[in-house]
Homo-oligomer: A and B are copies of this chain.
Amino acid sequence: MDLISEDDAALLVVYGKKGKPKKFLVKVKRGKVLHTHKGSIDLSEIIGKEWGCVIETSKGERVEVHKPILTDYIEKIGRATQIIYPKDAGFMILKSGIRPGDTVVEIGTGSGALTMVLANFLGRSGRLYSYDIRRESLETAERNLRLLGIDNVVLKHKDAKEGIDESNVDAIFLDIPDPWEILPQVHERLKPNGPFLAFLPSCEQVNKTVLKAREVGFGLIEIHEILDREYESDERRTRPAPWMIGHTGFIVIGRKISRS
């Protein structure tokens, strides 16, 4: 049975006014105390308990103890740097047609959010090669991957424009500002009919990527923007949340066709 142990990561949740959750992603340590605006929480107390247990703060406020999942880690990373959100990452994976065991290339490791999602999806038999030109991105990503026990990723400190080493790749994900510069190499390194998926903040980048993709030899080109509306519901009423994320990025997809 999987009980809470020292050194586990735990997601502690206290609820504020209007039932809004306040989340704390912590490492469980005997003797460690977490201070919140609702009172302090003694982490010793949860060791040996079941995931999903409910405890109380020093002020008697309810605390839920959750076992963090991948999107909880990504949410935490997202507070510090730009990330790809679940709404975007989930859609991209489905539209890429990749399957556990596949070989995938990612250009632009960034914070490693999409890296983690892809690696988790590909499983132990799959392989992800992730390129970035910034050493600090790779270091952050490596730390995050280790935290999650993910070991099927090869991080590469290299400018992919100077060459992608892998070939016959099942899919290539692009999270860089100028993917059009690299689409010829991407086309060359994909397996026949393999897709590229680019994540892009602006209309101008979308246009440049689409035009280059047509020229280089991609078919079934699609452009999507995924929006996530949150709702609130209780005894009194159901309604969309008053604020929402207005924009993260556009997704451009194409599948390799033969040049002939």
Contact = CB atoms under 8 A, between A and B. Distances in A.
Given A90-B90, A210-B233, A239-B247, A226 B225 contact: no
A260 B62 CA distance: 12
Given A100-B123, A244-B246, A193 B67 contact: yes
A240 B246 contact: yes
Contact of A13 (B97, B219, B236): B219
A48 interface: no
Contacts of A66: 193, 219-220, 255, 257
Nearest to A21: B220
Main secondary structure of the interface of A (DSSP, over half): mixed
Contacts of A53: 257-258, 260
Given A66-B255, A242-B247, A226 B226 contact: yes
Interface in A213-256: 219-220, 222-248, 250, 255-256
A247 to B, nearest CB: 4
Interface residues of A, number: 80
Nearest to A124: B100
A222 B233 contact: no
A95 interface: yes
A86 B94 CA distance: 6
12 contacts: A52-B192, A52-B255, A54-B257, A69-B96, A70-B94, A86-B94, A90-B94, A204-B237, A206-B238, A226-B226, A226-B229, A243-B243
Interface of A: 2, 13, 21, 50-54, 64, 66-67, 69-71, 86-87, 89-97, 99-101, 117, 120-121, 123-124, 191-193, 201-207, 210-211, 219-220, 222-248, 250, 255-258, 260
